[in-house]
């Protein structure tokens, strides 16, 4: 008997759902805790100024220094204390169902923001995790979310286009420079899969999915590899959470907006500061 054939009421009594944050039973993420997450405003991922549908400004795309240029980078919420509590449960307690819960929440937004990407020309690719981490958790949360979105959008999911090299180290304890070098060398393209995509011939858009962006280095390097492999394809990003305001790796010296969010109750006055070259 498959689990899916067991009535939901019976499943919930045997394996009760509990909120990843407050631990109340009934849902993997209760509406009250979702409501406490800090919204991520639609912004250009590079300069972080407001931008319709999270679209990257053309001028910002010209200002990357050898790093990937995402045409759009959707971010669901800010990576603050509430979001960290969710990710802690998600990553270390193997609650795969939480991924489906979050993917279900963001799917309607993705349908609107990526409405111009059609099933026949779009594929979705999760950012892979290390094999040791996969063994530890039993799944890649970006893959879980990506596959759910692909199903809802009728996009093709290609989970093994990118691979993670086995020799790369755990990021913890490394210096900033060592972390960047580690990330730069940690991905590879699965050439057989890439050939298959090229053979399809109709793919025009590749959407990378990652759970959390902190420095931006990981998804940026993954995107760069895809750009090199498919120079005529546009790349996009979908991520659940993004951390505090900071410059994107490879962005040349420019005015980066420092705009702390104040929830839905308005926000502090916009101000800018001069950033030096960051990478």
User: Contact positions toward Zn ion, by CB under 5 A?
Assistant: 19, 21-22, 30, 33, 44, 46-47, 57, 60
Q: How far is the CB of 3 from Zn ion (least distance, A)?
A: 24
Q: How far is the CB of 78 from Zn ion (least distance, A)?
A: 18
Q: Which is nearer to Zn ion, 60 or 125 (CB)?
A: 60
Angle between helices 81-92 and 96-113 (to 10 degrees): 130
H-assigned helices in 95-216: 96-113, 131-137, 141-153, 176-184, 191-200
Angle between helices 176-184 and 217-229 (to 10 degrees): 30
Place of tokens 């639609």: 42
Q: How far is the CB of 75 from Zn ion (least distance, A)?
A: 14
Q: Which is nearer to Zn ion, 102 or 153 (CB)?
A: 102
Q: What's the chain's length in residues?
A: 279
Q: How far is the CB of 170 from Zn ion (least distance, A)?
A: 30
Q: Which is nearer to Zn ion, 118 or 278 (CB)?
A: 278
Q: Which is nearer to Zn ion, 168 or 254 (CB)?
A: 254
Q: Which is nearer to Zn ion, 35 or 167 (CB)?
A: 35
204 close to 122: Cβ distance less than 8 angstroms:
yes
Q: How far is the CB of 74 from Zn ion (least distance, A)?
A: 15
Angle between helices 96-113 and 141-153 (to 10 degrees): 40
Q: Which is nearer to Zn ion, 24 or 191 (CB)?
A: 24
What is the token pair recorded at 152?
Answer: 């809802």
Q: Which is nearer to Zn ion, 23 or 188 (CB)?
A: 23
Q: How far is the CB of 47 from Zn ion (least distance, A)?
A: 3
20 close to 86: Cβ distance less than 8 angstroms:
yes
Q: Give the C-alpha separation, 135 to 155, whole Å.
A: 27
Q: How far is the CB of 32 from Zn ion (least distance, A)?
A: 5
Residues facing 189 on adjacent strands: 162
Q: Which is nearer to Zn ion, 53 or 170 (CB)?
A: 53
50 close to 59: Cβ distance less than 8 angstroms:
no
List strand residue ranges (DSSP E) for 137-260, in order.
156-157, 162-164, 187-189, 205-213, 234-242, 255-258
Q: How far is the CB of 31 from Zn ion (least distance, A)?
A: 8
Say which residues have a Cβ less than 8 Å from residue 121's Cβ, sequence separation at least 6. Answer: 202, 203, 204, 205
H or E element that contains 77: strand 73-78
């Amino acid at each position: 008997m498959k689990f899916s054939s067991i009535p939901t009421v019976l499943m919930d009594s045997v394996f009760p759902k509990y909120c990843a944050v407050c631990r109340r039973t009934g849902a993997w993420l209760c509406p009250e805790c979702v409501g406490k997450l800090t919204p991520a405003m639609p912004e250009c991922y590079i300069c972080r100024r407001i931008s319709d549908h999270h679209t990257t400004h053309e001028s910002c795309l010209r200002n990357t220094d050898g790093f990937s240029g995402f045409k759009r980078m959707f971010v669901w919420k800010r990576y603050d204390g509430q979001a960290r509590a969710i990710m802690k449960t998600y990553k270390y307690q193997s609650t795969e169902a939480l991924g489906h819960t979050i993917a279900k929440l963001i799917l309607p937004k993705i349908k609107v923001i990526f409405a111009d990407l059609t099933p026949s020309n779009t594929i979705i690719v999760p950012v892979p995790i290390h094999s040791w981490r996969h063994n530890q958790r039993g799944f890649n949360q970006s893959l879980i979310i990506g596959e759910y979105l692909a199903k809802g959008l009728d996009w093709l999911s290609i989970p093994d286009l990118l691979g993670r090299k086995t020799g790369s180290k755990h990021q913890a304890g490394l210096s900033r420079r060592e972390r960047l070098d580690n990330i730069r060398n940690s991905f590879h393209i699965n050439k057989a899969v890439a050939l298959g995509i090229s053979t399809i011939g109709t793919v025009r858009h590749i959407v990378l999915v990652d759970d959390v962006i902190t420095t931006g280095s990981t998804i940026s390097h993954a995107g760069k590899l895809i750009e090199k492999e498919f120079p005529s394809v546009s790349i996009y990003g979908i991520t659940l959470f993004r951390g505090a305001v900071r410059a994107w790796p490879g962005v040349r010296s420019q005015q980066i907006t420092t705009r702390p969010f104040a929830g839905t109750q308005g926000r502090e006055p916009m101000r800018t500061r001069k950033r030096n070259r960051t990478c």
